[in-house]
Chains A and B, each alone.
Chain A
Amino acid sequence: MSSETVLRQILLVTDGCSNVGSDPVRAAKTGISRGISTSVIGIVDDGSLGEQGKREAYEIAEAGGGMCRIISVADLSMTMQMVTRQTMQLTLQQVVNEELRNLIGKPTDELAPDVRTKVAAMVDTMAEESELHMALVIDVSASMASKMASVREAVRDMEFGLKARSGRYHLYVFTYPSAYSMSADEHVLEDQSGSIADILAHIRPAGNTPTGPALLAAIDRLLASFVERGKEDAGGHMRDYVV
């Protein structure tokens, strides 16, 4: 089961509160109902996040079945890795819980500690080996201008982390607001030898914060990747797409 598991998650990096377009909390809910979790990293530097932004960040993560961290931009690399890993564990834990509930009618938090350690070991291996489809949704509204260099490097760092895992991964990078539409732009790496981070170097942060529409764009992308992968090995075991 472990190596066949596919995880889909969104990681939102923002330093402000959404101010145009649809509700991001509702978008996160839509995501989780389709098996896509949403986690949020809120950056506090320069204070543009504010109480309202923090609250929204937590609400999005809560609705999206993910986790939320409020940090300063210098801790971004470390936090992106930690949040990704822990969100995977969280999701896998829920999957295992579900299976256990079906098997023996008990969720893990009602299991005796010695059984729970076995479950944890399984979750750990699965987090290392399962296939990960990850959409990074990055706020590039005007206030992010001073943080873009750090964000760019944190994305490069994220790729290092993903490469070191034994499981396969697909990284989709979105920035919002879009230069062309009302939601987000997806960035695709043409030259596979480079890093997607270098594309971010050319973006000029400007405009407002349509977080909701950006999340919906990422959800669409991850759902499409689900269909593509389904075609790839048609007749494969759909049951294994547990998430």
Chain B
Amino acid sequence: MFDPLREKKTPVLSPGMVIQGKWKHQTYRVVRLLGQGANGSVYLVWRDQVQAALKIGPDVTALALEYTHLENLAIHPLSTCKLGPAVFELDDIAFQGVSWSILVMEYIAGIPIDQFIQDKGSNWVPLCLLKIARMMEQLHALGYSFCDLKPANILFDVQTAQARFVDFGGITHHTQAVKEFTEAYDRAWWGRGSRKADGYYDVFALGMLGVQLVAPISRKAIEYLSTKAPLERDFWLDEHLRTHRLIDKVVPTLIKMVARIPSMDSKAVIADMTNLLGKKGDLSVKNEMILPAKKVWRRFDVTDWWLLVAVFTFVSVLFLLLWIGRS
């Protein structure tokens, strides 16, 4: 989205720049820009010896809310697997005399799910949907929906095929109205339900995500449909699914997931996807995913040099003592 005012307003951090938080006094060294969204820019930074993702934006409330959600998820006793990035801190920085809110979180090395499928092939779709459904199930058990489920917000690790959500700005409690959505994934836009957050809302969005991966709906089609009433979109989707029902074995499940009358919750999706994966021919996918993760090496820095010097000194002193003792 083009927004000159925001562009002007959100500070542009350049690589190599060092910034310091106002409250916690933590320093960050900027590496590069990771991505830009409606609510700000995300940068890769060094936080001491660890890489981190730093989100900076004009909306103080939005960042504070996202921080709260991430923190609650991390400490909740029901959370068994990691859904999103771990949080480091919420803070402010001064940039050219103006104060900006920042949210610093774990850096998630991964690529968006659509790219991941492009690289790996569509026989990976059930596994990806399974992983996302597992994360959803946890979120739903806590009474929340993710809502703004779109490829850019789901990152997959290329080596381990581990999935993580980023951008928790859309996460909504089940008593509330959906805050953020993208038309192509929104149940109400397709004329198939309300815009109140519930578990089924996410399942619908996940179903549409699956559709985008195996039988994409073009931007042109979405533009055309945006001039039509929800009822017509609803028919159009039926037609689209009917014509593509043989394209992939996952489609029948997707059709159930986006049905007008919801019948599948995240548990049912997990069961169906597991079933699909269990069938012969998909074992390769399963085996490939248990390949060990490639080790990522930390940058060799000042601390390491000092360590080396210390070890060297220690050894020299040892030899010196040994030599003195001998003679």
Partner of A160, one of B176, B182, B194: B194
Contact B228 A153 (CB under 8 A): yes
Cβ of B89 within 8 Å of any chain A Cβ, yes or no, is yes
B107 nearest CB across to chain A (Å): 20
Contact B183 A77 (CB under 8 A): yes
Could you tell me which residues of chain A, from 112 to 148, have a CB within 8 Å of some CB in chain B?
A: 112-113, 116-117, 119-121, 123-124, 128
Residues of A within 8 A of B60 (CB): 93, 108-109, 116, 120
Residues of B within 8 A of A8 (CB): none
Residues of B within 8 A of A68 (CB): 3, 5
Contact B59 A109 (CB under 8 A): no
Residues of A within 8 A of B209 (CB): none
Closest to B99 in A: A109
Q: Which of B61, B189, B222 has the most CB of A within 10 A?
A: B61
**A74–B184 alpha-carbon span in the complex (Å):** 11
Residues of B within 8 A of A160 (CB): 188, 194-195
Contact B91 A128 (CB under 8 A): no
Could you tell me which residues of chain B, from 66 to 123, have a CB within 8 Å of some CB in chain A?
A: 67-68, 89-92, 99, 101
Closest to B228 in A: A153
Range, interface on chain B: 35 or more
Closest to A93 in B: B61
Cβ of A163 within 8 Å of any chain B Cβ, yes or no, is yes
Residues of B within 8 A of A89 (CB): 59, 61-62
Partner of B177, one of A71, A150, A165: A165
Contact B61 A123 (CB under 8 A): yes
Contact A117 B227 (CB under 8 A): no
Number of interface residues of A (CB under 8 A): 45
Partner of A128, one of B4, B68, B99, B176: B176
Partner of B68, one of A82, A117, A156, A164: A117
Mask for B157-178, Cβ within 8 A of A = 1, else 0? 0000000000000000001111
Partner of A153, one of B67, B181, B227: B227
B184 nearest CB across to chain A (Å): 10
Given A109-B60, A160-B194: A120 in contact with B65 (beta carbons within 8 A): yes
Cβ of A29 within 8 Å of any chain B Cβ, yes or no, is no
Mask for A61-101, Cβ within 8 A of B = 1, else 0? 01000001111011111110110011001000100000000
A177 nearest CB across to chain B (Å): 23
Contact A128 B64 (CB under 8 A): no
B161 nearest CB across to chain A (Å): 30
A99 nearest CB across to chain B (Å): 15
List 26 A-B residue pairs with CB atoms under 8 Å apart, sorted by A's residue number. A58-B5, A70-B2, A70-B4, A73-B226, A74-B223, A76-B226, A78-B181, A78-B183, A79-B1, A82-B38, A86-B62, A89-B61, A108-B60, A109-B101, A113-B64, A117-B67, A117-B68, A120-B68, A121-B68, A124-B61, A153-B229, A154-B226, A157-B189, A157-B230, A160-B188, A164-B194
Instruction: Give A residues with C-beta under 8 Å from B.
Output: 44, 54, 58, 62, 68-71, 73-79, 81-82, 85-86, 89, 93, 108-109, 112-113, 116-117, 119-121, 123-124, 128, 149-150, 153-154, 156-157, 160-161, 163-166
Interface pairs A-B: 9 shortest CB-CB: A120-B64, A149-B227, A164-B177, A164-B195, A113-B90, A74-B223, A165-B177, A164-B196, A160-B188
